[in-house]
A and B are shown apart, each in its own frame.
Chain A
């Protein structure tokens, strides 16, 4: 830093030429205003260009060979599946209040096929906030000691051993099922899974074991799958609480009955395992059907924006579209579909592409405006769900154990009478069969295709190499602006000093002064550090607030805000006086604060982009303009020009938007409408974030909030 400053000072004199790279750096720093404007606009533009730049997906792993074999699922299997659906929807089976009957039916069906069956009893585990357990493996889950006998779920697990396989790997098929209040959709999903399962007991090509997990979703789909996975991957051999649980009469009853009815079969009370999981599919059928054709929705986002291998999505997409004639869609942000500005942007891109194509016929990058709008909506939701860091379905539990998994949700077209039901059973079953067969072909685990990508449509994706550009452009001006601010702050004070003393004579005291001045940034760094410390305290507070019993979200939120302000004031008074600068040299104090703030934001965003890119991208969109524009309001008011007025307005607007709760409510309002916004919603949202161990929570607490506070303090700087 000091070197560059010297260089910039000595630029005017004819001196031995400076290295080009240094020269470039100096140039960029001195023109940081222009650079930052250009880079930021380019970054935002690149983000909007992503749907245009998206590439078509392709199957990268040759071993998958989707659709190369003709489906073997016949009407026989479908009628088997139908039988199970009928038995499950039969009112008699629902009579018992615990839903054990339907579990027995499923287990009996599995046993009849010759599969190994076991029940897995689990106690739902509340997601709790463990401040130190972010990013740690899910092993840390502690079972509550005082659960009652009544609150348990039962997963039914059936395993087919591959007849000629070595049992090293397994494929998991999950169907969530709530025995107490199951809709028809859930029963249908079981029917599909059963028809596939009955086929797979007969086929000879199986190389991996098949596990069919009927997850008891009365305590949530995710909880059931996660509990089963926890038992599968990290079982506890010593359990003091298990004897208590075994005493519950109901469970024993269930196990005893099963043992009696089918002695000498492959039923066992113990937990059964197969090998390392190669992939997992979660199958759901939606109850209501508003679509015009049979569609299948793919949910892929797991915790902290992790995605399954793109090949898995590709296989499903390929088989669904080209073999089974199902329409595939991925999540979209629906409000964006109707926005006119996006449409006009798409039209601009389209016409630009047309011009480019007419100039040189090989330039074919344009896409139709409607497609662009759809792509943007999909991309936005892809970004949003990845940024949220909360898994979009039970498949998220698998990703915690490095297993590629997706959720498939089938929404059938018409009312589910007999013919349509058979049709959906057949097509859904064949799709699942095809996917399982592809994964079964796989010799290695999924590794060929992308793990870091954003989807713009089921068959189009933007890979990390492309979407990183937008982010890099956005944050590129930050270090330059920080450097230029630092140089400005130092040089201006230098100049003011230099006027008084004779420039030629450099005395010892002056050198000493320079040394002190060059270390002045430490003062601002202290302030920034204190604010970040405060951010850490604020993000720890919810843990303590959540301990307060019977607290409504709104009051919790209020307590949080109050405590935060209190802690800020305390820190302020104890450690420093960050907001009021006392010394006389403080003309440019705000510039130094801004410079250090920007550096810390740069570091924070850079780190976050490694952990969860989408969060970093959205955070950069909010924070970069705010950081770059921040300037004491007084200065702008004093200047009174149009430019400063614009800046004033921008600052005020950004200062409001970038405040995390404000941003949340704005987003929520845009998505759901402003009518039902509630203060407590933010608390609930935050609660869900930390319950899912989302890194976004840490980002908001430790990067965005301190940055906002610092920027506001700059805005209200007294100088």
Chain B
């Protein structure tokens, strides 16, 4: 197979660079040549400023149009291709995430973070290639299929109250998008295993061998994604090529146990690590099916600047030491807005085998401190207010000093504007009042029309659909802080609509803040070898800078869940009283009763029983009298009985007391 591919790649190398810039174009070229299914495995390691390490696994399988070989595949997972064919998916992304992406210290302005930082839980969006009225049905079927495929409760996204239709603010802008999130989905190894099953070598060989479950889930952030793109003509659907990207991004702490003993002076030194120390495993050769199988080490702009690395001296740098010699070193194409350049070290796994496993390590010699490039504005979202009735959502944007100079460089003329898109979905039980939208720029309230260029709102319908708000903000470039507040009422739910653990509260999914003016891309020099690497070509794509805000927890009023029991009890009591009195009225004959009473009054002559009954009533206390007095003749007997009972009880008590 490898041999077969050679001529084709040579052919490509001759071709123009522009054609190769993106993978889709590559696929279309592929159609002309031999239809081959390809698989690539790549791992990118990136040291982070706060003593952590980011590992980004990228597996890509591409299935060419399947007209040639029917529905059979060599490498491409059949489940996915069937899925694409059945639901006519144009593009789809599914991510399982645990933990939070720390935008402040891990950056937000590079392709890695803007496409791999995801909100906690499950996020799914899909673009369909079916007529408008079929989309919802396709979406529902898709959620169920994915739910089965990945052992997750994605099927909860089926109900119309959980997913939304972004109009234009969501990046793959098109009317056929459906977007849904499950913020409280727990992500664990049961979701990873089916994901690994889609790889041709699973985790038995190649880079996937590193995916050691305990060390993965010990990490600070863990995001597992599945990105599907079907290329080719739209309407036929069947004969389209599919590209499946599977990525796994983890942020790990190298040797965290030793960090405790390190004393203060050495605290600033970055911990040294190696693949075997962070994953507990080594790579013993590539997956034989994978064409490019490589490991990259990325030093981002800040780090290389802190190291004093330039295009001249990156070979001989004093601050760290690599345990293996890189096969290639790429320099980022210098751009206008930053002087320092990212550096990429490439290691080819092919060279290594069982006897000589691949294990790259990095030893820091001197303490280095740097900052990752951050998003133009740092977004955070929080709840305001207290109580069970009303509250407000606030999205606050704060300029990060890091990009200040960059922004001013971008704007030569005075009227510089920063465009910010906000996409916010709120569940229906959070009843947002869109008129209460308020905007504050630099702590001054501003008219909504001044700042908001475009707004699209679809109000929520109870139990039907969530509320969606898409806003385009035009902020002045010099903005320091901006805030968006919107008030809402907390809704009341029916008892069967509460989730399990309702007392925890309800989640409001993350808002997406994107900056369409800014594009995160990393273009590396020496393009000719890069076209082999899907990962690096993905880096070159211009993707808009995006960040997700925190998930919010809204405590709603919860009923006492033993309430049904109480309700049943009280309803039964009311019914009993009602029917009792009704029957009483129905069966009563007033005239008869009066006659009976008269006859009784005539009969009543004896004075003594009357007196005695009165006396007994006095004796027995207040409450018994009226209840027992109507049958006046029996009261006397009753009083006797009661006296006897009291006497016997007293005797018993005395007996017990004296003889115990």
Contacts and interface: CB of A to CB of B under 8 A. Distances in A.
Interface of A: 14, 16-17, 20, 23-24, 26-28, 31, 34-35, 76, 112, 114, 137-139, 161, 163-169, 202, 204, 233-235, 237-239, 242, 264, 266, 270, 273, 275-276, 355, 358-360, 400-402, 443-445, 447
B485 A276 contact: no
A402 B98 contact: no
A551 to B, nearest CB: 35
A139 B98 contact: no
A137 B593 contact: no
Interface stretch (B68-76, B288-296, B381-389): B381-389
A86 B121 CA distance: 45
Interface stretch (B123-131, B278-286, B511-519, B546-554): B546-554
A288 to B, nearest CB: 36
Contacts of B120: 166-167
B590 interface: yes
Contacts of B444: 238
A270 B551 CA distance: 20
Interface string B537-558: 0000000000000111111001
Nearest to B371: A264
Contacts of B481: 270
Contacts of B49: 264
Interface string B383-397: 111111000001010
Interface stretch (B169-177, B406-414, B608-616, B623-631): B623-631
B473 interface: no
B501 interface: yes
B386 A137 contact: yes
B16 interface: no
Contacts of A161: 100, 102
- State the 3 A-B residue pairs at the shortest beta-carbon distance, nearest first: A444-B503, A237-B440, A168-B553
B107 interface: no
Contacts of B587: none
Contact of A24 (B369, B380, B502, B623): B623
Contact of B503 (A165, A401, A445): A445
B552 A168 contact: yes
B501 A238 contact: no
A402 B553 contact: no
A447 B558 contact: yes
B657 interface: yes
Nearest to B105: A266
Contacts of A234: 384-386
A163 B597 CA distance: 84
Contact-residue bracket for chain B? 35 or more
Contacts of A26: 626
Contacts of A443: 501, 504
19 contacts: A16-B594, A16-B597, A17-B597, A34-B622, A139-B385, A168-B551, A168-B553, A202-B260, A233-B384, A234-B385, A237-B483, A276-B383, A276-B505, A276-B555, A359-B653, A401-B386, A444-B503, A445-B504, A445-B555
A488 to B, nearest CB: 18
Given A264-B371, A275-B550, 12 more contacts: A16-B593, A16-B594, A24-B627, A27-B626, A112-B264, A137-B387, A234-B384, A238-B443, A242-B443, A270-B398, A358-B656, A401-B386
Most buried by A among B104, B485, B550, B558: B550
A457 B556 CA distance: 33
B504 A444 contact: yes
B359 interface: no
Interface of B: 49-50, 98-100, 102, 104-105, 120-121, 183-184, 218, 220, 260, 264, 267, 369-371, 380, 382-388, 394, 396, 398, 438, 440, 443-445, 481, 483, 485, 501-505, 507, 550-555, 558, 590, 593-594, 597-598, 601, 622-623, 625-627, 630, 653, 656-657, 660
Contact of A235 (B98, B121, B369, B394): B394
B550 A167 contact: yes
Contacts of A112: 264, 267
A273 B549 CA distance: 13
Contacts of B485: 237
Most buried by A among B50, B385, B505, B626: B626
B105 A233 contact: no
A66 to B, nearest CB: 19
Contacts of A242: 443
A238 B440 contact: yes
Contacts of B220: 163-164
A31 B443 contact: no
A235 B503 contact: no
Given A166-B120, A444-B504, A27 B625 contact: yes
Nearest to A24: B626
A276 B398 CA distance: 21
A355 B658 CA distance: 11
Contacts of B622: 27-28, 31, 34-35
A24 B621 CA distance: 13
Nearest to A265: B369
Contacts of A264: 49, 369-371
Contact of A275 (B104, B553, B660): B553
A275 B550 CA distance: 9
A94 B387 CA distance: 41
Most buried by B among A139, A204, A238, A355: A238
Contacts of B550: 167-168, 275
Nearest to B49: A264
A58 B147 CA distance: 41
A402 B551 contact: no
Contact of B657 (A138, A359, A402): A359
Nearest to A163: B220
B551 A358 contact: no
B597 A275 contact: no
A239 B443 CA distance: 6
A168 B507 contact: yes
B493 to A, nearest CB: 15
B99 A163 contact: yes
A355 B653 CA distance: 10
Contacts of B267: 112
B384 A235 contact: yes
A23 B626 contact: yes
B660 A358 contact: yes
Nearest to B484: A237
Contacts of B264: 112
A358 B658 CA distance: 9
A382 B467 CA distance: 47
Contacts of A168: 505, 507, 550-553
A167 B590 CA distance: 72
B627 A20 contact: yes
Nearest to A442: B504
B217 to A, nearest CB: 8
A706 B398 CA distance: 56
B482 to A, nearest CB: 9
Contacts of A167: 100, 120, 550-551
A235 B597 CA distance: 77
Given A34-B622, A238-B443, A402-B387, A276 B553 contact: yes
Given A23-B626, A355-B657, A359-B657, A14 B445 contact: no
B602 to A, nearest CB: 10
Nearest to A400: B386
Contacts of B483: 237
A239 B440 CA distance: 10
Given A275-B552, A275-B553, A444-B504, A204 B218 contact: yes
Contacts of B121: 166
Contacts of B184: 166
Nearest to B378: A270
Contacts of A355: 657
Contacts of A14: 597-598, 601
B128 to A, nearest CB: 30
A357 to B, nearest CB: 10
Contacts of B398: 270
